[in-house]
Amino acid sequence: MARRSRHRLLLLLLRYLVVALGYHKAYGFSAPKDQQVVTAVEYQEAILACKTPKKTVSSRLEWKKLGRSVSFVYYQQTLQGDFKNRAEMIDFNIRIKNVTRSDAGKYRCEVSAPSEQGQNLEEDTVTLEVLVAPAVPSCEVPSSALSGTVVELRCQDKEGNPAPEYTWFKDGIRLLENPRLGSQSTNSSYTMNTKTGTLQFNTVSKLDTGEYSCEARNSVGYRRCPGKRMQVDDLNISGIIAAVVVVALVISVCGLGVCYAQRKGYFSKETSFQKSNSSSKATTMSENVQWLTPVIPALWKAEAGGSQGQEF
């Protein structure tokens, strides 16, 4: 009984596989093959190959660029967009004559053709990687610095693909990544990061005075920024002391001048003059009041007499 049940189970599985294969052939869809990657240098050519059966008269081919939105590259037997002027079809393949960085991305070719089981559709996906040489990097170099301080120089490129590595030069001579391997005439306290492009002096010295430039390099090419001079000076302690002494002397002279003016009575004379001026104003006002005192009653009498005349 057990053997019969096993045989029945095997027969059921075989029937299931036959039905599944028949269903797959009826709809004629073939799963996408392993994705292929094409690498090209910017402004050179690249060929996007569609690995499908040989082209027939009844085959219909479409190429699409995938991304946030799908766009046609080849549709209705015509190249689309700017590919018209810089690409051509070679059988099922696209030959891009002048690759740009904007061409990087995933592409899919779709080939459909009628068959005995129905419409047969095959797909293939190609990833295009565009290598770009670095541009002239932007370099930040301070024009002056004080010895003993921390100074950082920066270098950056935003266009290179793959990401470039950075090297610093002083007076045209390449600085080693490990400063202790260099000569004794150079400062051994710096740290260079070839990935981020920073050159940091933990304690900068006068030996670090010079012209600095940075080079960005990847597998495609390299570019270097113009040199910039950094001047390192010692902290002038004597100058600072002299400045402090001068300021103290100026404050002392001003204080002595104020004391001398107070002793001579310049401030007291000014206050006595203000007092005399205010007292003279007060006497003038009192004299005016005394002059008006006899005049006011006379004016009242004259006004009263005029009112009586009007009544008669």
Domain end (from 203, 233, 263): 233
Contact in structure between 50 and 109 (CB atoms under 8 Å)? yes
Mean pLDDT value across residues 111-130:
86
- Report the chain's mean pLDDT, rounded to a whole number: 78
Domain end (from 216, 233, 250): 233
CA 155 distance to own-chain centroid:
13
Choose between 74 and 119: higher pLDDT.
74
Choose between 291 and 263: higher pLDDT.
263
Q: In this model, does residue 166 exceed pLDDT 50?
A: yes
In a domain, 80, yes or no: yes
The stretches of 96-170 forming alpha helices (DSSP H) are none
Residue that is written with structure tokens 């095959």 in the block: 122
Of how many residues is the chain composed? Answer: 312
Q: Domain limits at 171?
A: 138-233
* Cα–Cα distance measured from residue 284 to residue 287, given in angstroms and rounded to the nearest whole number: 5
Amino acid of residue 255: G
User: pLDDT confidence of 156, banded at 50, 70, 90?
Assistant: very high
The pLDDT tens digits of the residues spanning 185-200 come to 556 689 999 999 999 9
Are 107 and 58 contained in the same domain?
yes
In a domain, 9, yes or no: no
Q: In this model, does residue 108 exceed pLDDT 90?
A: yes
User: What is the DSSP pairing of strand 60-66 with strand 71-75?
Assistant: antiparallel
In a domain, 86, yes or no: yes
Say what the pTM is: 0.62
Given this model, what pLDDT does residue 83 score?
95
Domain end (from 99, 114, 131): 131
Are 147 and 195 contained in the same domain?
yes
Are 45 and 71 contained in the same domain?
yes
Are 59 and 93 contained in the same domain?
yes
Helix (H, G, I), strand (E, B) or coil at 224: strand
Are 227 and 158 contained in the same domain?
yes
Given this model, what pLDDT does residue 144 score?
94
CATH of the domain at 189: 2.60.40.10
Are 108 and 167 contained in the same domain?
no
In a domain, 298, yes or no: no
Q: How many domains does the chain have?
A: 2
The pLDDT tens digits of the residues spanning 264-298 come to 666 655 455 454 555 555 455 555 545 445 544 55
Given this model, what pLDDT does residue 256 score?
73
Contact in structure between 216 and 197 (CB atoms under 8 Å)? yes
Q: In this model, does residue 78 exceed pLDDT 70?
A: yes
In a domain, 46, yes or no: yes
At 181, give phi and psi (nearest 5°). -85, -5
User: pLDDT confidence of 59, banded at 50, 70, 90?
Assistant: confident
User: pLDDT confidence of 253, banded at 50, 70, 90?
Assistant: confident
Are 71 and 91 contained in the same domain?
yes
Mean pLDDT value across residues 55-68:
85
In a domain, 181, yes or no: yes
Are 106 and 155 contained in the same domain?
no
Are 90 and 116 contained in the same domain?
yes
Given this model, what pLDDT does residue 119 score?
75
- Determine the straight-line distance between the first and last CA of the chain, rounded to whole angstroms: 160
